[in-house]
Chain A
């Protein structure tokens, strides 16, 4: 039996670190922007102030790390959706970054494969 494997090469990894409880909002925003999956890990943060001065906003030590693999084409849209949904322009809410990937392998439905084949 011959098996074929689809290797995606034009992919990026988006990592977002936010306060605990925010991951649902981030995953939902990523999905609305076209992302097909996400992974959420619980973590402890450090090096942040417990309170942000005049604002009086507590910065939780408990964090959630969301990782999402996206195509390079989708990257900007997913990045922007996450940034806005997570209110990452507000001090202490979190941050995100993108790591280039060499390749990725996963299951892709045939109808999607047909669309992306050159």
Chain B
């Protein structure tokens, strides 16, 4: 019986951008929503973590633990040719948190990246069903 060989389709080389931001005020949801609606980027995820930031502490004792704060880690995966645009977009969205020393944003290179698309034509998608 003949076998069909399937090969995964790959995007051009990609990049990953991680934003570590305060967990309050739903900033992570805001970022993910604006990325989806404004930039068409759906390859994002968010998780909650414990963050330590040295910049926000004035003269901390050398041997003491800095105070911990709840943070959200938002990871965005994009094609290489859009990385600069998305990085700049994210810095503008979190400018306030960056200036207060409560955030950091960094970018790295991905060696492999698979394609990700959402299914289309699902009835009722995008509508909120109310009873």
Binding site for B on A (CB under 8 A): 3, 5, 11, 13, 23-24, 27-28, 31-32, 35-41, 69, 99-109
CB distance from A11 to the nearest CB of B (A): 7
Chain B interface residues (CB < 8 Å from chain A): 15, 20, 47, 49-55, 62-63, 65-66, 68, 71, 73, 87, 91, 95, 98-109
Pairwise interchain contact A106-B105, C-beta atoms closer than 8 A: yes
Q: How far is the CA of A39 from the CA of B109 in the complex (A)?
A: 21
CB distance from B17 to the nearest CB of A (A): 9
Nearest A residue to B71 by beta-carbon distance? A39
A92 to chain B minimum Cβ distance, whole angstroms, is 23
Interface centre among A38, A39, A108 (most CB of B within 10 A): A39
- Contact A102 B15, CB 8 Å, known A39-B49, A40-B50: yes
Assembled-state Cα–Cα distance A40/B23 (Å): 13
A24 touches B15 (CB 8 A): no
* Residue from B54, B65, B99, B103 within 8 A of A36 (CB atoms): B54
